[in-house]
Amino acid sequence: MHFKVRAAAKEDCKDISRMIMELAVYENMADQVKTSHEDLERDGFSPNPFYECLIAEVPDEHKTKDGYTVVGYALYFYTYSTWKGRSVYMEDLYVMPDFRGKGIGTGLMAKVAQVGVEKQCVRLQLSVLEWNKPSLDFYIAKGAEDLTAKEGWHFLRFHGQTLDTLAKEAPKD
């Protein structure tokens, strides 16, 4: 099946939002999605974007049963390692179920890798849920290494109330 990978435009945010929800449903976390397509537009397409996005598009004759031609996306941003410098972090990679097995996921990820290499990034990082075997296999086949297993890294966060509590005690300027 012919498909194209291109940089997302502001107008694509409705499709990206739709697919974000689809991915959240797959991860059994749909109730945690709070962003709207307007949030995505503001955060990705202003002078200081917080993410970049690539989308995969199929020709009209292959559109989904609901009429969509945008069938996959990869959302990423730049991070920084104090040891090695510039890195790229792939936050989301998703292809609609009917369009899997055709190289679209690989195509999207290859383009993220290319962008990363062009920007002189030393590595690409991502996180995967431990039960998500198909995704783990996909990434390991491309050379991904489990740093949680190898080096013991855990993700922590301060969220909601705990963040507010800390912030209230911030030293004054």
Q: What are the strands of the beta sheet with 52-57, ordered from one edge? A: 4-7, 52-57, 70-81, 85-95
Question: Under the criterion CB under 8 A, does residue 137 sit at the interface with another protein?
Answer: no
Any contact of residue 129 with another protein (CB under 8 A)? yes
Nearest by Cα to 20 from 112, 94, 80, 90: 94
| Least distance in angstroms from the C-beta of 63 to another protein | 20
Q: Are 125 and 67 in contact (CB under 8 A)?
A: no
Report which DSSP code applies to 46.
S
Contact between 14 and another protein (CB under 8 A)?
no
Q: Which of 1, 7, 9, 163: binder of another protein (CB under 8 A)?
A: 163
CB-wise, 65 or 154, nearer to another protein? 154
Question: Per CB under 8 A, does 74 bind another protein?
Answer: no
90 three-state secondary structure: strand
Total residues binding another protein (CB under 8 A): 78
Contact between 62 and another protein per CB under 8 A: no
Query: Catalytic annotation on 139?
Result: yes
Give dist(CA 55, CA 113) in Å, integer: 14
Q: Given the structure tokens 């030293």, which residue do they identify?
A: 171
CA-to-CA distance for 41 and 43, rounded, in angstroms?
A: 6
In the window 79-118, what residues touch another protein (CB under 8 A)?
79-86, 89, 91-92, 103, 106-107, 109-111, 113-114, 116-117
- Residues of this chain, 17-56, that bind another protein according to CB under 8 A: 20, 24, 29, 32-35, 39-40, 43, 50-51
- Residues forming the active site: 139
